[in-house]
Amino acid sequence: MKTASKDQPLKIAVAGLGTVGAGLLRLAEKHASLLEDRSGRPILVTAVSARDRNKNRGVSLDGMAWFDDPVAMAARADADVVVELIGGSDGIARQFCETALGNAKHVVTANKALLAHHGTELALVAEEAGVTLAFEAAVAGGIPIIKSLREGLAGNPIRRIYGILNGTCNYILTAMHKYSHEFNDVLKEAQKQGYAEADPGFDVDGIDTAHKLAILASMAFGARVNFDGVYVEGIRHVSLTDIRFARELGYRIKLLGTALLTNEGVEQRVHPCMVPLDSPIAHVEGVFNAVVADGDFSGTIIHEGCGAGAGPTASAVAADLVDIARGHSTPTFSIPAKELKSLPASPLEHRTGPYYIRLMVVDRPGVFADVAAALGRHDVSMESVIQRARAPGEQVPVVMIIHDTREDRMAAALADIGGLEAVVEPPRMIRIESF
Amino acid sequence: MKTASKDQPLKIAVAGLGTVGAGLLRLAEKHASLLEDRSGRPILVTAVSARDRNKNRGVSLDGMAWFDDPVAMAARADADVVVELIGGSDGIARQFCETALGNAKHVVTANKALLAHHGTELALVAEEAGVTLAFEAAVAGGIPIIKSLREGLAGNPIRRIYGILNGTCNYILTAMHKYSHEFNDVLKEAQKQGYAEADPGFDVDGIDTAHKLAILASMAFGARVNFDGVYVEGIRHVSLTDIRFARELGYRIKLLGTALLTNEGVEQRVHPCMVPLDSPIAHVEGVFNAVVADGDFSGTIIHEGCGAGAGPTASAVAADLVDIARGHSTPTFSIPAKELKSLPASPLEHRTGPYYIRLMVVDRPGVFADVAAALGRHDVSMESVIQRARAPGEQVPVVMIIHDTREDRMAAALADIGGLEAVVEPPRMIRIESF
């Protein structure tokens, strides 16, 4: 186990000086004495690497060695720890981390894509080398959920963990609800405000949430990170009509990442959910994130806070640095990487739960009988139905709440219903979660 | 620094085998292999002490040394760590902890009263002896808030921390709101259900909340624990009438503990608050606890969960044990005890904020003019007023929302108003917090 001498400063090399990197340098400068009080030693940034040396970042790089090539910095910088803020699941970021670990340097990263794809392998390398791979900043920004799962709830098997893990999606869904705007209008506004990227797919299609979920699931269940085992569905198909029906029915629509242990393995899924208003997660608004973990002794524990941005991310990186400065070392994913289980992905088809279904139908005699017959054929039973504004021959929404049903039967019934001539759009389905 | 050899089991002696102690033994037995995976070594209970050796606790004491006298156990048991679950701010609990620290044993305790009164002194002794004093279980049960403040938010100065810290009070206030019952009726019911003690003063008079708040404030601000500096007001005076007006005005009434840094020092206060419905804390119901910390980089971070009970408390103790087993050692109150600041108590009289005021008045001409004159004399201005059901000569409630006002001026105005002949009860005042 490598631990730098405890009366020496802990030396840090930072790769990537965008918003988050600059935020970290600001934190390290502004709170140098707090970090030293808490670590028992100074934490010094000794080297940096970024694309443009001369860009004004509002922080001084004086006294820091400059590297044009981050990988060269990972190999050669006079540093105990490297911080990876480059991003991307492969390429430079991965090479940077592997090089640092290969040179017995601790790695702190905010890179969820990298960890979702290569987390287990990197953890094996780090633990073999006796250095730390830490990533509090990779999930839910400033919320210390990784530490809580790895340490604060260490006495608890966690059987289920779920949360709102993407601030962009939550901002969009909140705005649709609050201002009654359609998805595309809110997305455009969010892009203008800087809450959404020009290419929003990573966020709104659920991929970012899936990355974070795969990391949380590994940590919670002591299993190898299995991003490929995550079912992913984004929020593009959520319409204002659905948001309004949700409100009327006493629900809110949230994009949740959910991971749970089943008899078959681990079920990991990302999709819009209807959650009841009295659920603690229903009131998490705007860019906030929240993570709910169910421990067998601790009970339900909820963490909530700002899920992104320079300040929260820098705070999370700083916490990891303080741990390393203190000489603390914990297995990367809560148990040693070589003991992480390979749990099979539990098929979503076997999930059982209630559903919200919305059909757009041409209102004419017999339509509803056809829909009911399709449900009946697949043994799917309806709890309630809303149909209003009957205008013969016109398109009207028909909303049904479906009793607990297995996903594969629901899908088969929807395929039949989608084939009916009077059903003019593909049926919309949103899973209901009564946490 | 004492660290038991890392390939040996960590040996634990537990004092106090009530609900929580039995819960801890159950956890240690049921999750022995999880604890070993996470610690890198077995965690074994080697000795116990309680009042009655023969009581059936549903757990086996086989293989554990029995001590009638916990203090003798602290001195002589073959253990690396003692766990104190006896309770009380002085007497046996204190003697037990001091003896253990004096014998270079780590101490894990759930005892908030002890820490609120003697936390700084015990931390000094522990750090001098090079052992750990850990107390995740002392605040907010299974919620890992102590670890989050000490480690997860280590890069952040915290300027304010507040929360719902007593499950009994929150249960009572929730039930009053939900079922429209008066305080005394709900208290009786809570006592029947086991949510309140036969002598409920410790909880409903706010003392338990104040203990926890003093610990949180020390941790958040790097200051010596100052229980005597906490202003404490309980919930006995909250009536169903107030609960109903709160609902009508868009608020919920919660007993909050609040600590913040001011220009004068640390303001620590426990009292019922009206919080707006869109505040995250407004929806924390029943026996749940929640803690909100405002970090300068992290932003607002909220932790929520079950604040008491055998399972959550055992979970918190187990997390501390895993830290010790891993050889992790962190300054007790986040920075070394000898560097904790002595911050003066900031006087509540200087707090400025809005207020809810309820008067019971005999409705006759001129009453309201007298009330308004009293407010005016102290430069207190009203935002709104509710007076209904005018029945000349009868008692009616008059509710006023007061604009931001300094506490001492508000108190002076209320003293004048209370002296008016037509005001038939002492005026009720509940502070409004717009977090």
Average pLDDT in chain A: 95
Q: Is B334 left (phi over 0), alpha (psi -120 to 50) or beta?
A: left
For tokens 């099979």, the residue is: A344
Whether residue A314 has pLDDT greater than 80: yes
The neighbouring-strand residues paired with B232 are B270
What tokens appear for B290 in the block? 């929640």
CATH of the domain at A356: 3.30.70.260
Looking at the fold, whether B149 and B93 belong to one and the same domain comes out as no
Calpha distance A135→A119 (Å, rounded): 10
What tokens appear for B329 in the block? 């050692």
Query: What pLDDT was estimated at residue A2?
Result: 46
| pLDDT band with cut points at 50, 70 and 90 for residue A193 | confident
C-alpha distances in angstroms, A305 versus A308, A406, B90, B252?
Answer: 9, 34, 38, 21
Residue B179 Cα, gap to closest chain A Cα (Å):
16
Cβ contact, residue pair B144, A152, below 8 Å: yes
pLDDT, tens only, A223-259: 999 999 999 999 999 999 999 999 999 999 999 999 9
The neighbouring-strand residues paired with B345 are B266
Closest residue by Cα to residue A11 from A137, A92, A105: A105
Looking at the fold, whether A194 and A296 belong to one and the same domain comes out as yes
Looking at the fold, whether A159 and A283 belong to one and the same domain comes out as yes
Q: Going by C-beta distance under 8 Å and a sequence separation of 6 or more, which residues neighbour residue B121?
A: none
Looking at the fold, whether B261 and B235 belong to one and the same domain comes out as yes
User: Has residue B330 been placed in a domain?
Assistant: no
Q: Which amino acid is at B187?
A: L
User: Has residue A327 been placed in a domain?
Assistant: no
Residue B260 Cα, gap to closest chain A Cα (Å):
18
User: Has residue A330 been placed in a domain?
Assistant: no
Could you write out the DSSP letters of every residue in A327-390?
T----TTSS-GGG-B-PPBPPGGG-EEEEEEEEEEE--TTHHHHHHHHHHHTT--EEEEEE---
CATH of the domain at B52: 3.40.50.720
CA dihedral A145, A151, A153, A155 (to 10 degrees): 160
Looking at the fold, whether A166 and A273 belong to one and the same domain comes out as yes
- The ipTM (two decimal places) reads 0.95
Whether residue A398 has pLDDT greater than 90: yes
Looking at the fold, whether A136 and A211 belong to one and the same domain comes out as no
Query: What pLDDT was estimated at residue A195?
Result: 85
Domain boundary among A283, A306, A329: A306
User: Has residue B339 been placed in a domain?
Assistant: no
Give the mean pLDDT of A358-368. 88
User: Has residue A256 been placed in a domain?
Assistant: yes
Intervals of chain B under pLDDT 70? 1-6, 389-391
Q: Tell me the backbone φ, ψ of residue A176, rounded to 5 degrees.
A: -60, -45
Cross-chain CB nearest to B311 (options A23, A298, A334): A298
User: Has residue A331 been placed in a domain?
Assistant: no
What tokens appear for B228 in the block? 């005597």
pLDDT, tens only, A84-102: 999 999 999 999 999 999 9
Cβ contact, residue pair B328, A331, below 8 Å: no
Query: What pLDDT was estimated at residue B2?
Result: 46
Least confident range of A118-127, A129-138, A205-214, A273-282: A273-282
What tokens appear for B393 in the block? 């000569």
Catalytic residue among A11, A112, A212, A254: A212
Known catalytic residues of B are 212
Looking at the fold, whether B152 and B296 belong to one and the same domain comes out as yes
Cross-chain CB nearest to B37 (options A222, A303, A317): A222
Looking at the fold, whether B301 and B360 belong to one and the same domain comes out as no
Query: What pLDDT was estimated at residue A327?
Result: 95
What's the structural domain count of chain A? 3
Residue B418 Cα, gap to closest chain A Cα (Å):
40
Please, what's the b/e burial string for B363-375 (b: 16 or more CB within 10 A of its CB; e: otherwise)? Answer: beeebbebbbebb
Closest residue by Cα to residue B214 from B258, B170, B272: B258
Query: Are the beta carbons of B220 and B163 closer than 8 angstroms?
Result: no
Query: What pLDDT was estimated at residue B5?
Result: 59
Collect all residues of chain B within an 8 Å Cβ-Cβ radius of residue A135: none
Query: What pLDDT was estimated at residue A342?
Result: 97
Burial class (CB in 10 A: 0-12, 13-18, 19+), B5: exposed
CATH of the domain at B271: 3.30.360.10
Q: Which of B24, B45, B132, B151 to mutate to test the interface with A (most CBs of A within 10 A)?
A: B151
Looking at the fold, whether A241 and A156 belong to one and the same domain comes out as yes
- Angle (nearest 5°) at CA A354 between A352 and A357: 125
What is the span of the domain harbouring residue B27? 10-142+314-320
User: Has residue B372 been placed in a domain?
Assistant: yes
User: Has residue B393 been placed in a domain?
Assistant: yes
Looking at the fold, whether A83 and A186 belong to one and the same domain comes out as no
Looking at the fold, whether A207 and A302 belong to one and the same domain comes out as yes
Looking at the fold, whether B199 and B107 belong to one and the same domain comes out as no
CB atoms under 10 Å from CB of A424, counted, come to 11
Collect all residues of chain A within an 8 Å Cβ-Cβ radius of residue B157: 31, 34
Query: What pLDDT was estimated at residue B1?
Result: 40
Report CA A32 to chain centroid distance, whole Å. Answer: 30
Query: What pLDDT was estimated at residue B391?
Result: 67
